[in-house]
Amino acid sequence: MNLAGLSFRDLEYLVAVADHLHFGKAAEACAVSQPTLSAQVRKLEEYVGVQVFERASRTILVTERGAAVVAQARTVLGEGRRLLEVAQSGGELLGGSFHLGVISTLAPYIAPIILPPLRERYPRLRLTLSEALTAPMVRQLEAGEIDALLASSPIRQVELSELPLFREVFVLAVPRDHRLAVAEKVRREDVPADEMILLDDGHCLRDHVMEAFPGCGRNGAVRATGLETLRQMVGAGLGCSVLPQLAVQVGSLLDDMVAYRLIRDGSPGRDISLFYRPSFGRITEVRALRDVIRDAMVRLGTVAVHGRPETRPLA
């Protein structure tokens, strides 16, 4: 088989159909007509001798053999983009563009910690940050739409490589007039499960909190769409909640409305890692990014950085 019969554009069509499972939407995403896209995808299937898509009147399915072809097409496209980036950066480490995804309960709080040292160490880095819930971020990572992902570990049911970074504890947030606002010590059993405000479904933090405090959510807990909305609801006296450590240290504290208390027994929390595709061709750069993030967290000094002993207790 001659590689001259393959083009990057045809591979983009193939991946677009796999992503949208709809030829019309794939054509719109690729800015071509549907007949053109359909014809090129059919031509590609004939060329490689594999039926990638099972076509029905209303549904499009990726066949078992087709899934392997689509996965390899993503890898080829990713390496093609990398070729251009290497040429543009002159081979300099983190000297081109890099697209980093961050889960939404972490992004606003870690960004001001890691962006200044990244810019100082790699001034030619063109960093793009995206934030969303874990599941769509993982899909973007698998599709090659982002280069790496900062998220809570573990991420199951997908093949991703992982570089552990740090652990942040959960901090109880209560209204200023709550009985626990002046408590010297708070244990897990003291956390008022029936008063807890939880994030909406889809937030991995919601799952971590319910795992750490099994009584939460059993009676139809009040929900919030994001951490800052949740914090405002606590301040307004609508209930209590548990926030990640960085959200307390870096976020808007609302000191006159919200009191924060460490949970002293067992230090429930979450582990944050940097995830990337095993086939990603820029592993050296991902590790360089990991090093900058870990150094920044060590300088912060209050989170337990994996592999580094320099951590002072959170007051």
Give the residue from 59, 86, 113 where a domain finishes.
Answer: 86
The tally of domains found in the chain comes to 3
- Distance CA(105)–CA(100), nearest Å, equals 15
User: Is 60 exceeded by the pLDDT of residue 8?
Assistant: yes
The whole-number average pLDDT for the span 60-87 is 82
Is there a single domain that holds both residue 178 and residue 262?
yes
Is there a single domain that holds both residue 282 and residue 155?
yes
Is there a single domain that holds both residue 158 and residue 218?
no
3-class secondary structure, 172 = strand
| Encoded tokens for 66 | 């087709």
Is there a single domain that holds both residue 48 and residue 140?
no
The whole-number average pLDDT for the span 183-211 is 89
- Distance CA(14)–CA(188), nearest Å, equals 51
Give the residue from 68, 86, 104 where a domain finishes.
Answer: 86
Range of the domain at 206: 167-269
Tell me, yes or no, whether 312 lies in a domain. Answer: no
Cα–Cα distances (Å) from 250 to 112, 243, 247, 254, in that order, read: 8, 12, 6, 12
Is there a single domain that holds both residue 43 and residue 125?
no
What band does 76 get if pLDDT is binned at 50, 70 and 90? confident
What band does 221 get if pLDDT is binned at 50, 70 and 90? low
Is there a single domain that holds both residue 102 and residue 193?
no
Tell me, yes or no, whether 285 lies in a domain. Answer: yes
- CATH code, 94: 3.40.190.10
pLDDT at 295: 94
pLDDT at 142: 86
**What are the b/e assignments for 187-214, b being 16+ CB within 10 Å?**
ebeebbbebbbbbeeebbbbbbbbebbe
User: Is 90 exceeded by the pLDDT of residue 222?
Assistant: no
Q: pTM, whole model, 2 decimals?
A: 0.74
Where does residue 4 rank: exposed (0-12), middle (13-18), buried (19+ CB within 10 A)? exposed
What is the per-residue pLDDT across 225-276, written as a single tens digit (0 to 9) for each? Answer: 888 899 899 998 989 999 999 998 886 666 678 999 988 887 799 999 999 9
Is there a single domain that holds both residue 236 and residue 298?
no
